[in-house]
Amino acid sequence: MKMNKTVAMDCRRIEKLAWGYMEANLPSREHELIESHLAECASCKEVYQETKLIIQLIEKQKSEGPSPFLASRILSRLEGKNIPKWEISFLLRPAWSFAFASIIIAIGIFTGSIVSNNILAIEGPSNTTNTEMLYANQSFIMEADYYIPGFEYLNE
Amino acid sequence: MELSEKDLTRFINKFQDRVFRTCMGFVQNSDDANDLTQDVFLAVIESLDDFRNEAQLSTWVYRIAVNKSLNHLKKRKTRNIFQNIDKLLFKKGSGEAHQFLYNPVAEDENSEEASRLLNHALRKLSQSQRVAFTLSKYDEMSNNEVAVVMGNSVSAVESLLFRAKQNMQKALRDHKF
């Protein structure tokens, strides 16, 4: 599109004033100037129409409100946050984590020692040979019904 | 600070419309704006103890809303980059389902065009221009109120708004030619 110098210069000025024109915030002289410019400049008119479109969209978006359940959702999220927050934070504290880990290790050691004691009870003295241990284990399996943990050598 | 459920409901009801509009101005989508409004109130309620009476409660709430919205936009930008890479590499998401999921819902062609134009124009604004524009146009704050929320002078806000509108006009003109 070919524009004369005056129209082109006006276009830049219109760009500055257009928003005010659309919001009806301009003095009447400038308002008239824009109206006469828009009547003869197709490119400015197109931009004006697009700007009008987005202003209408903003108005439409502004008329939308939040969900009617917003407050109840926030309150339920607050409740949901409070309960696990306490439980999880309690368990995740370093001191408690260390304590829990220590307890689990202690239980493991205790269980391991009982199991090894029970096996020793069947195996007999530590200087037994591998063959003797094998027989002892077999007899443990066979005599398992009579074995009571803690009462070593009961069957002897 | 311990607040009863009734106090919290009253507090939310008082500010929810304006916080929602602020979020809407940034994210341009009512579902995202609703989620973001919830996040804003959770952040506000959880940090009520930190609130000092140096600023008005409303100013403080809007500051949190603006910060949350800007963070949301940053995350969305990063997500979009990855989605575009994903699309480029695997040609995924060209179907209707993808259109439905990732494009703002538009009721008709006219509002779809308006939504596209508005997003295009808003992307051309600097962060501070966008904050000033949103608070002024969506929340209908006076320049003075915008200045208080942004921690700027009134003249700085006037300048930001003027440049924001000009940049938007320029974006629309460049978009055409």
Mean pLDDT value of segment B24-41: 94
pLDDT the model gives residue A146: 47
Q: What ipTM did this prediction achieve?
A: 0.79
Asked whether A64 and B17 are in contact (CB, 8 A), the reply is: no
| Min Cα–Cα distance to chain B from A113, Å | 50
Domain segments of chain A as ranges: 5-63, 71-146
Write the DSSP assignment of B67-126 as a string of letters: HHHHHHHHHHHHHHHHHHHHHHHH----SHHHHHHHSPP-SSHHHHHHHHHHHHHHHTS-
- Neighboring chain A residues of B173 at a CB cutoff of 8 Å: 15, 43, 47
Chain-centroid distance of CA A78 in Å reads 16
Q: Considering only the C-alpha atoms of chain B, give the largest distance between any 2 of them, rounded to a whole number of Å.
A: 58
Helix, strand, or coil (residue A62): helix
> Is residue B101 predicted with pLDDT exceeding 70?
no
Pairwise CA distance, residues B77 & B60, whole Å: 26
Domain segments of chain B as ranges: 1-105, 108-177
> What average pLDDT does chain B have?
85
- Neighboring chain A residues of B117 at a CB cutoff of 8 Å: 50, 53-54
- Predicted TM-score (pTM) of the model is 0.66
> Is residue B12 predicted with pLDDT exceeding 80?
yes
Pairwise CA distance, residues A82 & A74, whole Å: 12
Buried b (16+ CB within 10 A) or exposed e, B91-128: eeeeeeeeeeeeebeeeeeebeebbebbebbbebbeee
> Is residue A3 predicted with pLDDT exceeding 70?
no
Q: What tokens does A104 get?
A: 């689990």
Residue B169: exposure state from Cβ atoms within 10 A (0-12, 13-18, ≥19): buried
| Min Cα–Cα distance to chain A from B90, Å | 35
Element of type H or E holding B176: helix B154-176
**pLDDT, tens digit (0-9, with 9 covering 90-100), for A13-63:** 887 788 888 887 788 888 888 888 888 888 888 888 888 888 889 999 999
Pairwise CA distance, residues B14 & A87, whole Å: 32
Pairwise CA distance, residues A52 & A137, whole Å: 93
Q: Which CATH number fits domain B108-177: 3.30.70.120, 1.10.1060.10, 1.10.10.10, 3.40.50.2300?
A: 1.10.10.10
Percent of chain A with pLDDT strictly greater than 90: 16
pLDDT the model gives residue A86: 43
**Does B1-105 carry CATH code 1.10.10.10?**
no
Q: Considering only the C-alpha atoms of chain A, give the largest distance between any 2 of them, rounded to a whole number of Å.
A: 121
Instruction: Provide the terminal-to-terminal Cα distance of chain B, rounded to the nearest Å.
Output: 57
> Is residue B19 predicted with pLDDT exceeding 70?
yes
- Neighboring chain B residues of A23 at a CB cutoff of 8 Å: none
pLDDT the model gives residue A84: 44
